[in-house]
Amino acid sequence: MKKGLLIIIMMLLLGGCWDEAQYKDVTIVPVMGIEKDGEEIKTIFSFPTFENGMINYSTSEGKGFSTWNARYDANQRTMEALNLAHLEVLLVSDNLAKKDIYEPLDMFFRTPKNRITSYIAIIEGDMEQYFNLPEDVNTDVADFYPELLHTAVLYTFVAENTLGETAKILREESMDLSLPYMTLNEKGIPTVEGIALFSNYKFTGKTLRKEESIAANIMKDNLGKHTYLTYKWRQKESPITIEIISVHRKIKITHDKIDLNYVIDIGVDEFPKNGLYKNDMRRETENFLSDEMKRDFNKVIQKTQEAKSDIFGFGRRVHAFHSELWERGDWQETYATFPIEVDVKVRMKRTNILD
Amino acid sequence: MGIEGNSVIDKKTVKQLFFDSSDLVVTDIDWPTGKGVLCYYSSLADGTEVNKQIDIIQQRASKKIDNWGKTAVSDVMPFSEADLVNSVCDGLSVIIFQQSKVMVTISAQSTIGRTPGEPATEQVIRGPHDGFIERTQQNITLIRQKLSRNDLVVRKFKMGKKTTTEITYLFIDSIADKEVIKLFESRLQDIQEETIMNSGEFEDYLEESIFSPFPQLLTTERPDRVVFNLMEGKIAIFVNNSPSAMIAPVSFFSFFQSPDDFNGRVVVGSFFRLLRVMSLIMAIYLPAFYIAVVGFHSEILPIELSKKVKLAINEIPYRPIFEAIILEIFIELIREASIRLPKPIGQTIGVVGGLIIGDAIVNAGLVSNLMVIVVALTAISSFVIPTVEMNMSIRILRFPFMLAAAMFGFFGMAIGTLILVIHLLTLTSLKQPYFSPFIPLDTSRILHVFLRVPYSKFHKQQKTFTFIGKKKGRKS
Q: CB–CB of B128/B122 below 8 Å?
A: no
Residue B183 and residue B66 share a domain: no
Does residue B446 form part of some domain? no
Cα A344 to Cα A209, A290, B306, distances in angstroms: 21, 5, 47
CA distance B152 to B231: 10
pLDDT of the residue at B236: 93
Q: Which residues of B touch A (CB under 8 A)?
A: 293-296, 298-299, 301, 303, 306-307, 309-311, 313-316, 319, 406-409
Residues of A in contact with B301 (CB under 8 A): 86
Residue B130 and residue B76 share a domain: no
The dihedral over CA atoms of B415, B421, B424, B426, expressed in degrees to the nearest 10, equals: -90
Range with top average pLDDT, A164-168, B3-7, B69-73: A164-168
**Interface mutation vs chain A, best among B290, B297, B301, B303, most A CBs within 10 Å:** B303
Shortest CA distance to B250 belongs to which of B186, B191, B199, B180?
B180
Q: Which helix (H) or strand (E) holds B55?
A: helix B47-62
| C-beta atoms of B409 and A19 within 8 A | yes
Does residue B403 form part of some domain? yes
Overall size of chain A counted in residues: 355
Considering only CB atoms, A50 lies closest to which of B303, B310, B408, namely B310
Residue ending a domain, choose from B82, B106, B130: B106
Cα A231 to Cα A238, A275, A290, B411, distances in angstroms: 9, 17, 11, 57
How far B406 CA lies from chain A's nearest CA (Å)?
A: 7
Does residue B256 form part of some domain? no
Lowest-pLDDT range, A141-150, B377-386, B417-426, B444-453? Answer: B444-453
Q: CB–CB of B462/B176 below 8 Å?
A: no
Overall size of chain B counted in residues: 476
Domain count within chain B = 3
Does residue B4 form part of some domain? no
| Residue B48 pLDDT exceeds 70 | yes
Q: Which residue has the higher pLDDT, B475 or A23?
A: A23
CA distance B171 to B194: 25
CA distance B234 to B334: 37
Find the helix packing angle between B369-384 and B266-295, rounded to 10°: 150
Q: What range does the domain containing B242 cover? A: 120-250
Residue B269 and residue B246 share a domain: no
Does residue B447 form part of some domain? no
Q: Which residues pair with B454 in a beta bridge?
A: none
Residue B357 and residue B334 share a domain: yes
CA distance B97 to B10: 10
Find the helix packing angle between B223-230 and B136-146, rounded to 10°: 60
The CATH architecture to which A210-355 belongs is 2-Layer Sandwich (3.30)
pLDDT of the residue at B163: 64
How far B401 CA lies from chain A's nearest CA (Å)?
A: 14
Please report, in angstroms and rounded to a whole number, the separation of the first and last CA atoms in chain B. Answer: 73
Find the helix packing angle between B320-340 and B343-350, rounded to 10°: 160
CA distance B25 to A59: 94
Residue B467: phi and psi, rounded to 5, are -130, 150
Residue B158 and residue B69 share a domain: no
At residue B421 the predicted structure's pLDDT band, cuts being 50, 70 and 90, is very high
**Average pLDDT of adjacent 10-residue blocks, chain A of 355 residues:** 84 67 85 89 90 84 90 87 88 90 89 87 90 85 89 88 90 89 90 90 88 90 88 81 92 88 91 85 90 91 90 90 87 88 91 78
CA distance A325 to A220: 22
User: Is the peptide bond preceding residue B440 cis, with omega within 30 degrees of 0?
Assistant: yes
Q: Where are the beta strands (DSSP E) in chain A?
A: 26-28, 31-37, 40-51, 54-64, 81-83, 89-93, 119-123, 178-184, 190-199, 202-209, 228-233, 238-253, 258-270, 340-350
Residue B134 and residue B241 share a domain: yes
Does residue B450 form part of some domain? no
pLDDT of the residue at B401: 94
Residues of A in contact with B408 (CB under 8 A): 16
Please report, in angstroms and rounded to a whole number, the separation of the first and last CA atoms in chain A. Answer: 85
Q: Which are the contacts of A186, defined by CB distance < 8 A and separation ≥ 6?
A: none
Residue B224 and residue B165 share a domain: yes
Residues of A in contact with B311 (CB under 8 A): 50, 53, 55
Q: CB–CB of A142/A48 below 8 Å?
A: yes
How far B298 CA lies from chain A's nearest CA (Å)?
A: 6
Residue B280 and residue B196 share a domain: no
pLDDT of the residue at B278: 92
pLDDT of the residue at B472: 59
| Burial class of residue B144, CB neighbours in 10 A (0-12, 13-18, 19+) | middle
Residue range(s) occupied by CATH 3.30.300.210 in chain A: 210-355
CA distance A33 to A45: 6
| Residue B202 pLDDT exceeds 90 | no
Residue B165 and residue B91 share a domain: no
How far B151 CA lies from chain A's nearest CA (Å)?
A: 49
Interchain CB contacts (distance < 8 Å): A and B: 60
At residue B1 the predicted structure's pLDDT band, cuts being 50, 70 and 90, is very low
pLDDT of the residue at B359: 87
Residues of B in contact with A51 (CB under 8 A): 314
Residue B322 and residue B180 share a domain: no
Q: CB–CB of A198/A309 below 8 Å?
A: yes
**Interface mutation vs chain B, best among A13, A86, A87, A139, most B CBs within 10 Å:** A86
> Could you count the other beta carbons within 10 Å of the beta carbon of residue B345?
12
How far A163 CA lies from chain B's nearest CA (Å)?
A: 16
| Residue B178 pLDDT exceeds 60 | yes
Residue B388: phi and psi, rounded to 5, are -65, -45
| Residue B6 pLDDT exceeds 60 | no
Strand order in the sheet with B74-78: B24-29, B36-41, B93-97, B102-106, B74-78
Does residue B37 form part of some domain? yes
| C-beta atoms of A16 and B407 within 8 A | yes
How far A17 CA lies from chain B's nearest CA (Å)?
A: 5
Burial A210-243 (b: 16+ CB within 10 A, else e): ebbbbbbbbbeebbbeebebebebeeeeeebebb
Residue B277 and residue B214 share a domain: no
Q: Which residues pair with B170 in a beta bridge?
A: B154, B236
Q: Which are the contacts of B365, defined by CB distance < 8 A and separation ≥ 6?
A: B315, B316, B317
At residue B232 the predicted structure's pLDDT band, cuts being 50, 70 and 90, is confident
Residue ending a domain, choose from B195, B223, B250: B250
Closest chain B residue to A115, measured at CA: B299
Task: Annotate B366-390 with DSSP letters as a single string.
Answer: SS-HHHHHHHHHHHHHHHHSSSHHH
Residue ending a domain, choose from B195, B220, B250: B250
pLDDT in tens, B261-311: 778 888 888 898 889 889 999 999 999 999 999 988 888 888 888 888 888
Does residue B462 form part of some domain? no
Q: Which residue has the higher pLDDT, B474 or A163?
A: A163
Considering only CB atoms, B294 lies closest to which of A12, A23, A146, namely A23
Q: CB–CB of A1/A59 below 8 Å?
A: no
Residue B94 and residue B144 share a domain: no
Q: What is the DSSP letter of A234?
A: T
Residue B238: phi and psi, rounded to 5, are -115, 135
Residues of B in contact with A32 (CB under 8 A): none
Q: Which helix (H) or strand (E) holds B276?
A: helix B266-295
